[in-house]
């Protein structure tokens, strides 16, 4: 692992694990912490959703809203289908 990452990164990961759980330190956990810290590609979220999911969701919510009675309106009595 040290051949892939710097010794400072490995030591920092070990120190982090010591603070969390000093009796449960493994190479897999060290690798996970070092790789997590080196992940410099932040996720890019699309501000304007062009896939239509947002519009479709809002449309569905409006349709559901119309099913709920407003204020003093009563529910329409429905017959159970057997």
By residue range, what is the domain housing residue 20? 7-38
Helix (H, G, I), strand (E, B) or coil at 39: coil
Evaluate whether residue 59 is within a structural domain. Answer: no
Evaluate whether residue 25 is within a structural domain. Answer: yes
Evaluate whether residue 70 is within a structural domain. Answer: no
The Cα–Cα gap between 20 and 56 comes to 44
- In this prediction the pTM is 0.44
Q: How many domains does the chain have?
A: 1
Give the model confidence (pLDDT) of 2-55 as tens digits. 567 788 989 999 999 999 888 889 999 998 998 886 655 555 555 665 667 888
Q: With contact defined as beta carbons under 8 Å apart, do 25 and 17 qualify?
A: yes
């Amino acid at each position: 692992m040290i051949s892939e990452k710097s010794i400072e990164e490995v030591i920092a990961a070990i120190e982090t694990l010591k603070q969390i759980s000093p009796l449960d330190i493994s190479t897999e956990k060290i690798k996970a912490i070092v790789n997590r810290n080196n992940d410099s590609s932040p996720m890019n979220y699309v501000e304007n959703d062009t896939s239509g999911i947002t519009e479709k969701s809002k449309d569905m919510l409006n349709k559901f809203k119309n099913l709920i009675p407003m204020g003093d309106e009563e529910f329409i009595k429905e017959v159970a289908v057997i």
